[in-house]
A and B are shown apart, each in its own frame.
Chain A
Amino acid sequence: NAGVTQTPKFQVLKTGQSMTLQCAQDMNHEYMSWYRQDPGMGLRLIHYSVGAGITDQGEVPNGYNVSRSTTEDFPLRLLSAAPSQTSVYFCASSYSWTGGYGNTIYFGEGSWLTVV
């Protein structure tokens, strides 16, 4: 059981380049989300999805796109990378988005992204 798998683990981009952070889960979870973590800022929600074909914006969505064509995959796209997007990115999933299921949120191991 792989849980939540994120790739790549480390990436360096030049300003203006685009890239996709991949996230896959094998637990048949409905809810998937992307966070970024910056020093002194905690985890901030970028986008989330409550099921295949459904996505919504979180706290800091600008500069990022997502799609959810399957239950398993939830890629995060940086359209035109900027130095302000240098951060650690975490993908997370949980069985359901209702009823306070915070204790079943599973995080990926993180992706360290540097934009120069």
Chain B
Amino acid sequence: EDKVVQSPLSLVVHEGDTVTLNCSYEVTNFRSLLWYKQEKKAPTFLFMLTSSGIEKKSGRLSSILDKKELFSILNITATQTGDSAIYLCAVEPDNNDMRFGAGTRLTVKP
């Protein structure tokens, strides 16, 4: 059965720290892996990854995919209180049955 596992489930850091969020997956006919940030309402898109080893970067956030070991990481450097959110990883197989992980709740303290 397809599944997506994120770790840790919860993380508390202080401003300025660097964090790494993990996402491992098992899915038939992988198409892409996506990261979302969810604050109070709907998730907002961060990255889509389809190829191994190619880092996607947006400001202080970056992500990379390893299709051999079936995982992705999301890095956030110099964290700010505004980074506090739930970060969701989702895997999109070619049968459209997108699977989300349980999310990592990140709390950044001042």
- The interface of chain A, by Cβ under 8 A from chain B, is 31, 33, 35, 40-45, 48, 50, 56, 58-59, 90, 97, 99-100, 102-103, 105, 107-110
B109 interface hit (Cβ, 8 Å): no
Interface hits, B47-63 → A, CB 8 Å: 48, 50
Is the pair B41, A100 in contact by a Cβ cutoff of 8 Å? no
Return B78 CB to nearest CB of chain A, in Å.
Answer: 25
B74 interface hit (Cβ, 8 Å): no
Is the pair A42, B48 in contact by a Cβ cutoff of 8 Å? no
Q: A48-B96, A50-B96 are in contact. Are A102 and B34 (CB under 8 A)?
A: yes
B67 interface hit (Cβ, 8 Å): no
Give the complex CA separation of A90 and B99 in angstroms. Answer: 14
Chain A residue at smallest Cβ distance from B46:
A103
Q: A100-B32, A102-B34, A110-B42 are in contact. Are A42 and B101 (CB under 8 A)?
A: yes
Q: List 20 A-B contacts (CB under 8 A).
A: A35-B100, A42-B4, A42-B100, A42-B101, A43-B88, A44-B100, A45-B97, A45-B98, A50-B96, A56-B96, A100-B32, A100-B48, A100-B50, A102-B45, A102-B48, A103-B48, A108-B42, A109-B41, A110-B41, A110-B42
B16 interface hit (Cβ, 8 Å): no
Q: What A residues does B34 contact at CB under 8 A?
A: 102-103, 105
Is the pair B42, A109 in contact by a Cβ cutoff of 8 Å? yes
Return B2 CB to nearest CB of chain A, in Å.
Answer: 9
B8 interface hit (Cβ, 8 Å): no
Is the pair B101, A105 in contact by a Cβ cutoff of 8 Å? no
Is the pair B45, A103 in contact by a Cβ cutoff of 8 Å? yes
B27 interface hit (Cβ, 8 Å): no
Q: B90's contact among A43, A48, A108, by CB below 8 Å, is which? A: A43
Beyond A108-B42, A109-B41, A109-B42, 12 extra complex contacts between A and B, CB < 8 Å: A31-B96, A45-B98, A48-B96, A58-B97, A59-B99, A90-B42, A90-B43, A100-B48, A100-B92, A102-B34, A102-B45, A105-B45
